[in-house]
C-alpha cells in the first residue's frame, strides 16, 4: 500500500523539517524525488540520507518566489523524467507580529514565498500534469482556521493557500488532478528550536514545554507524523479525495477551549 513506485515527485523546502521528512518518506516508497530548496546544504543532506537508504533523489537550488526560475526548473525535470506525478508545496517562511508591527518588507517577503511561491509552482507544474493526472499537496496551517496571536502576515498567507487549493481542485477535476492541503499545528522542527533560542535565551526548556502544551494532546507533532498524512493524500489510495484541508494538530482547532 501507498507505493509511489515509478512516480516523479517535487517537494519544495525539503532541506529540513517537514519537507525533509516528506522527501525521505516518498523516496522510501519508491518515488524519484526532486528536492527544490534555497538552502543548498540542507538539500544536499536530505539527498545524502535518501541515497543512504537506497532511494533516488535530485537537488535543485530554487527560489520559489522567482517565477521564471521555477518554470525553467520544472521544464528541465519533465525533460529528463518525462512526467511529474506529485507536487508538494511545502516551502515557506514565518513571521511573528500583529498588523502594526508587521512592516511592508516583512509582509511582502511572506507573500512572495508563501503565496506567490505556491502559485509559481502550480502554474509551472499543472500544464505538464494535465497529460496524465497527478496529486498536489499544499502546506497550510491551523493559522488559516483559527486566530493565532502575533501571526498576522503568516495567517494571511496560509488562508491564501487554502483558497488556492480549493480553486485548483475545482478547476482541474476533469484532468484527473487532485489538490488538497493540510494544516499542521506546532511541529518540532529546527525552525522551532531556532525561534526559541533566539527569542527566549536562558528559558529554552521552559518555553519548549509551554509551546508543547499549547496542543491539547500535550506535545508538538513530529515531522514524520506530518509526512505520513502527506504520503496518504498523494498516493493512489486517496484517489477519491480532492479539495480538502486536513488539520493535523493534536486537537488544537476543535479541543482548545
Q: Which residues are catalytic?
A: 154
Kindly give the pairing relationship between strand 32-37 and strand 134-139: unpaired
CB 150 within 8 A of CB 136: no
- The residue assigned the cell 480553486 is 167
Phi, psi for residue 177 in degrees, rounded to 5? -105, 120
CB 196 within 8 A of CB 212: no
Q: Helix-strand-coil percent breakdown of the chain, rounded to 5?
A: 50, 15, 35
Q: b/e for 108-129, b at 16 or more Cβ within 10 A? A: eebbbbbbbbbbbbbebbbebb
Angle at CA of residue 8, ends 223 and 118, nearest 5°: 60
Phi-psi region of 86 (alpha: psi -120 to 50; beta: other; left: phi over 0): beta
Phi, psi for residue 160 in degrees, rounded to 5? -65, -35
Which is nearest to 193 in space by CA: 167, 171, 228, 223? Answer: 223
Amino acid at each position: 500500500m501507498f507505493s509511489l513506485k515509478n512516480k516523479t515527485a517535487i517537494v519544495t523546502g525539503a532541506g529540513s523539517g517537514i519537507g525533509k521528512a516528506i522527501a525521505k518518506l516518498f523516496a522510501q516508497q519508491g518515488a524519484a524525488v526532486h528536492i527544490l530548496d534555497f538552502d543548498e546544504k540542507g538539500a544536499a543532506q536530505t539527498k545524502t540520507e535518501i541515497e543512504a537508504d537506497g532511494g533516488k533523489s535530485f537537488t535543485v537550488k530554487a527560489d520559489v518566489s522567482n517565477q521564471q526560475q521555477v518554470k525553467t526548473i520544472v521544464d528541465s525535470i519533465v525533460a529528463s523524467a518525462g512526467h511529474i506525478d506529485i507536487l508538494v508545496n511545502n516551502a515557506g517562511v514565518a513571521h511573528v507580529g500583529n498588523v502594526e508591527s508587521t512592516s511592508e518588507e516583512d509582509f511582502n517577503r511572506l507573500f512572495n514565498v508563501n503565496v506567490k511561491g505556491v502559485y509559481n509552482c502550480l502554474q509551472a507544474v499543472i500544464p505538464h500534469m494535465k497529460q496524465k493526472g497527478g496529486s498536489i499537496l499544499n502546506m497550510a496551517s491551523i493559522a488559516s482556521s483559527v486566530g493565532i496571536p502575533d501571526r498576522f502576515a503568516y495567517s494571511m498567507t496560509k488562508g491564501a493557500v487554502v483558497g488556492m487549493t480549493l480553486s485548483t481542485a475545482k478547476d482541474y477535476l476533469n484532468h484527473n488532478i487532485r489538490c488538497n492541503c493540510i494544516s499542521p499545528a506546532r511541529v518540532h522542527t529546527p525552525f522551532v528550536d531556532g525561534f526559541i533560542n533566539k527569542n527566549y535565551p536562558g528559558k529554552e526548556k521552559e518555553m519548549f514545554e509551554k509551546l508543547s502544551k499549547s496542543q491539547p494532546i500535550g506535545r508538538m507533532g513530529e515531522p514524520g507524523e506530518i509526512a505520513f498524512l502527506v504520503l496518504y493524500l498523494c498516493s493512489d489510495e486517496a484517489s477519491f479525495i480532492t479539495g480538502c484541508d486536513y488539520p493535523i494538530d493534536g486537537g488544537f482547532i476543535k479541543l482548545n477551549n
